[in-house]
Amino acid sequence: MLGYLESRKNLAGSACGLVGVGLALAGVAGAYWPLVVAGLYGAGALIAPPERVAPPPFDPSEEVGALRADFTRLGEYLGEVELPATAEGRWAGLSELYGALLESGWVAEVLAAEPEAVHALSRAIRRDVPECVDTYRRTRWWSRLTPGGESPELHLERQLDLLYAEAERVTADLREAEVRRQQTHTAYLEERGRS
């Protein structure tokens, strides 16, 4: 009830109702002044904009923390999977890059400020890498039954290379954002020094 008393609809309706009272006091509304006041209140309440519901607060650092935990689980999963030596080396490089991007501290803060980077890492860690490894394992099993096709190891290596290139682009974008931030601060300081 108290919420409605403070709402935009009630305030607009009350303002229009006061106009109706003013019309009644001026003698314009006649004997039907209660209907005029009620009608103007209703009209004001109807035309008032709806209350704006505030969006829930999201903390981007929580997403990075959850992503870090998922990355740890992914590492445990891949520790149990038998990968070919070349793919194992490529995963080690990719894992090192992911680990550096998800490192606690200021790096995580920079990452959390860039939703596209968080999305790219999330997609790679939660979906792409597990899918690469899972399809490799399944295809390898089928390849043993019907040899002669394309090597599943080559596909896995190519997939990990593509994911590494994507992680390097994310890293370059984050670096570029920090460079722009530094340049902006320099320009601000120069401008402040002139005035």
Q: 17 in a domain, yes or no?
A: yes
Q: 108 in a domain, yes or no?
A: yes
Query: What is the pLDDT averaged over residues 76-85?
Result: 91
In angstroms, rounded to a whole number, what is the distance separating the alpha carbons of residues 113 and 116? 9
In angstroms, rounded to a whole number, what is the distance separating the alpha carbons of residues 104 and 98? 12
Average pLDDT score over the chain? 89
pLDDT, tens digit, for every residue of 88-119?
999 999 999 999 999 888 888 888 888 899 99
**Same structural domain, 80 and 151:** yes
**Same structural domain, 32 and 100:** no
Query: What is the pLDDT averaged over residues 73-98?
Result: 92
Q: Which two tokens stand for residue 162?
A: 């593509």
Percent of the chain with pLDDT over 90: 56
Q: 140 in a domain, yes or no?
A: yes
Q: 55 in a domain, yes or no?
A: no
Q: Kindly list the distances between the CA atom of residue 165 and the CA atoms of 71, 123, 144, in Å, as whole numbers in the listed order.
A: 18, 14, 30
The total of structural domains in the chain comes to 2
**Same structural domain, 172 and 99:** yes
Q: 10 in a domain, yes or no?
A: yes
Q: 185 in a domain, yes or no?
A: yes
Contact 60, 81 (CB under 8 A): no
Contact 163, 132 (CB under 8 A): yes
**Same structural domain, 25 and 86:** no
Can you give the pLDDT at residue 172? 94
pLDDT, tens digit, for every residue of 59-71?
777 888 899 999 9
**Same structural domain, 40 and 73:** no
In angstroms, rounded to a whole number, what is the distance separating the alpha carbons of residues 51 and 34? 28
Reported as a pLDDT band with limits 50, 70 and 90, residue 150 is confident
**Same structural domain, 30 and 118:** no
Can you give the pLDDT at residue 31? 87
**Same structural domain, 23 and 66:** no
Range of the domain at 100: 60-194
Reported as a pLDDT band with limits 50, 70 and 90, residue 182 is very high
- Whether the per-residue pLDDT at 126 is higher than 90: the answer is yes
Q: Which two tokens stand for residue 99?
A: 């680990």
Can you give the pLDDT at residue 76? 94
Can you give the pLDDT at residue 75? 93
**Same structural domain, 68 and 101:** yes
**Same structural domain, 12 and 97:** no
- Whether the per-residue pLDDT at 144 is higher than 80: the answer is no
Task: Provide, for the chain, the percentages of residues in helix, strand and coil under a 3-state DSSP scheme, each rounded to the nearest 5.
Answer: 80, 0, 20
Reported as a pLDDT band with limits 50, 70 and 90, residue 145 is low
In angstroms, rounded to a whole number, what is the distance separating the alpha carbons of residues 120 and 117? 5
Q: 53 in a domain, yes or no?
A: no
Q: 23 in a domain, yes or no?
A: yes
- Whether the per-residue pLDDT at 168 is higher than 90: the answer is yes
Measured from the Cβ of residue 23, the count of other Cβ atoms closer than 10 Å reads 16
pLDDT, tens digit, for every residue of 14-68?
999 999 999 888 888 888 889 999 999 999 999 988 888 777 777 777 888 899 9
Query: What is the pLDDT averaged over residues 174-180?
Result: 92
